[in-house]
Structure 1
């Protein structure tokens, strides 16, 4: 098949997708830059124009903070302004900056309830031109997740749902099906030793719980650096010590 014919067919496919309400913008993927992780993701990274879920491995604030920092690192590596929708304005901005997400790039949208967060996310995704739209949620109903996924597809903007629990029973909702393209769980591990006494780099257990057209996997990684990048940890270490400074203020 000639290159010209392939181009014509590609154009026709995009027109058909647009007419049928399919993906209107093919925005590619955001690779992690870690071959072992990118290899298990279809396309070699996190898809733009798609919804991704991140949650802590437990119901406490420590793992929840790690999940939010991981999401911040992902958002930091996208291009453009970031909109962060939430109901409680208690994010610790220096922690976001350490994960690569500079405060000047973030526009916060506060709502009284989670329905407001979902509505704000959908509106911002439909606007287009943003690097990512992040929303802090306890529950993510299937219908709401489909609306977010469709809105993300139309503009090519990445949608990120940070599942933040307030109590143990709410964590059970993470097992319910949603329309997200990927679903991740982040748990805190003992720090990675550095050459400086008493100083270590945070480590996480990163679990890919669901990947559309992909496989599940888990990795031990070093936490995001000031560019939002992660790396594979050299060893598992002792998982009993999970003490970390919380991303969220008291």
Structure 2
């Protein structure tokens, strides 16, 4: 009996396994935050590069998306390489992104006419492995669309950041719908730390890890991104005070 057919099947299976293993290794490339309180909560010790991640603003920030955009800018700044940023509303403030570590020379802006065109540009950008990150300000994100984005990110190893932004507060309920994103974050502005002299201190955020695939959810009080895209713990927390507020875990949805 001929064994050529079984051998060809085995060879094909081995080749397929090798491709899958290569992709899995590609996925394991991680971008850590550099803060143990956050990195130890994430299963891989940071954000997976070849994956889709969601960010939204909390409270009134769900509409203007300022804190969420700055958080995404800080992550993109630390990713290295060029960053593709897709928008439908041309109101990004470049100096603010630069203060979060993302210099104007690293960003390529794409202004899209509607959400459908934006998702198409988002997916196409994620297919390019030479980009450090692709950021897109999206209102609606279905499971089907997010799955396509996740697969595109997995294939290229490019970091995808979906900044959820809505025109009305009532639309923010869409953030509760399931998607294929690896992590889901909510960023809310907090009062800055009081200074001994008149002035405004470094902005603070309540950073909520709403969902982490195969991981826990948690809340963090952090100081906003510096000019290198790095977060920091408030001095009282870094010194060991109020430690219960750092990385407070909660049940996963």
Distance 1:21 1:28 in 2: 12
The answer on whether the counterparts of 2:62 and 2:172 sit within 8 Å (CA) in structure 1 is no
The yes-or-no answer on 1:175 pairing with 2:176 is yes
TM-score, normalised relative to structure 1: 0.84
Unaligned runs of 5+ in 1: 1-11, 237-250
The yes-or-no answer on 1:203 pairing with 2:204 is yes
Provide the residue aligned with 2:124 in structure 1.
123
Q: What number of residue pairs does the alignment pair up?
A: 225
The answer on whether the counterparts of 2:35 and 2:232 sit within 8 Å (CA) in structure 1 is yes
Report the CA distance shift for 1:131/1:160 in structure 2 as closer, same or farther (over 3 A): same
Report the CA distance shift for 1:219/1:63 in structure 2 as closer, same or farther (over 3 A): farther
Provide the residue aligned with 1:233 in structure 2.
234
Distance 2:171 2:88 in 1: 16
Deviations 1:184-225 (A, max 9, x none): 000000012345521211000000000001000000000000
Provide the residue aligned with 2:3 in structure 1.
none
* SS at 2:80 equivalent: coil
Deviations 1:140-193 (A, max 9, x none): 111000000000000100000000111011100000000000000000000123
Deviations 1:117-162 (A, max 9, x none): 1100111111221100000011111100000000000010000000
User: How far 1:15 moved relative to its partner?
Assistant: 5.2
Task: Pick the structure with greater CA Rg.
Answer: 2
Provide the residue aligned with 2:162 in structure 1.
161
Provide the residue aligned with 1:50 in structure 2.
51
Structure number with greater CO (CA < 8 Å, separation at least 6) is 1
Provide the residue aligned with 2:144 in structure 1.
143
TM-score, normalised relative to structure 2: 0.83
The answer on whether the counterparts of 2:61 and 2:188 sit within 8 Å (CA) in structure 1 is no
After superposition, the CA RMSD in angstroms is 2.3
Distance 1:14 1:83 in 2: 33
Alignment of 1:35-46 (within 5 A): 35-46=36-47
Unaligned runs of 5+ in 2: 1-12, 238-253
Higher helix fraction (1 or 2):
2
Report the CA distance shift for 1:110/1:62 in structure 2 as closer, same or farther (over 3 A): closer
Report the CA distance shift for 1:128/1:76 in structure 2 as closer, same or farther (over 3 A): same
